[in-house]
Structure formats: structure tokens, C-alpha cells
């Protein structure tokens, strides 16, 4: 799993890009087509037309870094939002990691995490307070 600081965004181009492009061509593409600053420290992801090559470009304060993955068989399954009419979309690093692992995200949805406080509501919308040291017990239906 890729871990990024909260200030770093991951932009993915929605238009296929030649998988043979290098540092200079991809950084020029970021500036001219995506209208973004390639030296910003953000990550920029690209897929080729056959979706068997993925490239990620970023600037690390001393130079460009280009990470590339080519599948020997099959293709990357891209979520619907990467097939939009926009020039690029912003995705989470965890989502990119799943795509690069070959996981098909169609039909997948992100669960809403439970509340962080010790006050929970039960099915009757009554507040349940955890005043002791034992954790609150909840049935599967309540999660």
C-alpha cells in the first residue's frame, strides 16, 4: 500500500498516454494537457491505450522519478471515473494500489467508518454511552 502525506495528491490522466514516454514527455504532458505543475510534488498517473502499462511521475526536489509497471497478461481494470470526459481525476493512493494489484473496483464501495466518539446510537435512535472500561457491544446489523 502506498502511503502519502495528506498534502500530496494523485492525479490520473483519463486519456491514454503512450506507455513508452519518458520523463520529459510525461512532464510536458502534465503541463500542456493537464494544465498542472509537474514540479509540485504531486503524483501523476498514466495508463496506455491497452491498459497494460501504468506510469507514475513525480518530482522529489532533486529530479523526476518515473515508476512504471507492465503486465505480462491482462490489463488494469480502471474505475468508471477514470473514463470520464475530464482531462484528469484525483484518486486516493489506496485506490491506485488496488488497481495496480489487478483488483477490479467495479461495484466496490467504500464503507463509512464508525464514529470515533464513545457515544453511539442504537436502532431506536437513543444515545448509548460507554461509561465503563468495556467496549460497546454491537450486533452485525448495527455496523
Is 73 inside a domain boundary?
Answer: yes
DSSP string, 67-113: EEEE-SSS-----GGGGSSSSEEEE-HHHHHHHHTT---TT--PPPP
pTM: 0.70
User: How far lies 26's CA from each of 5, 44, 61, 70, 87, in Å?
Assistant: 23, 9, 17, 17, 14
Is 143 inside a domain boundary?
Answer: no
Has residue 104 got a pLDDT over 90? no
According to the model, what pLDDT value does residue 31 have? 95
Is 29 inside a domain boundary?
Answer: yes
Is 142 inside a domain boundary?
Answer: no
Structural domains in the chain (count):
1
According to the model, what pLDDT value does residue 100 have? 86
Is 140 inside a domain boundary?
Answer: no
The parent domain of residue 102 ranges over 1-135
Amino acid at each position: 500500500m502506498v502511503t502519502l502525506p495528506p498534502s500530496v495528491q494523485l492525479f490520473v490522466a483519463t486519456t491514454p498516454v503512450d506507455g513508452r514516454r519518458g520523463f520529459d514527455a510525461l512532464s510536458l504532458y502534465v503541463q500542456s494537457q493537464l494544465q498542472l505543475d509537474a514540479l509540485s510534488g504531486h503524483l501523476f498517473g498514466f495508463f496506455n491505450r491497452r491498459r497494460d502499462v501504468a506510469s507514475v511521475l513525480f518530482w522529489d526536489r532533486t529530479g523526476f522519478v518515473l515508476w512504471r509497471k507492465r503486465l505480462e497478461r491482462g490489463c488494469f481494470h480502471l474505475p468508471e471515473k477514470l473514463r470520464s470526459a475530464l482531462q484528469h481525476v484525483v484518486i486516493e493512493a489506496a485506490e491506485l494500489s488496488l488497481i495496480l494489484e489487478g483488483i477490479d473496483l467495479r461495484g466496490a464501495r467504500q464503507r463509512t467508518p464508525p464514529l470515533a466518539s464513545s457515544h453511539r446510537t442504537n436502532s431506536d435512535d437513543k444515545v448509548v454511552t460507554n461509561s465503563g472500561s468495556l467496549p460497546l457491544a454491537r450486533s452485525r446489523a448495527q455496523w
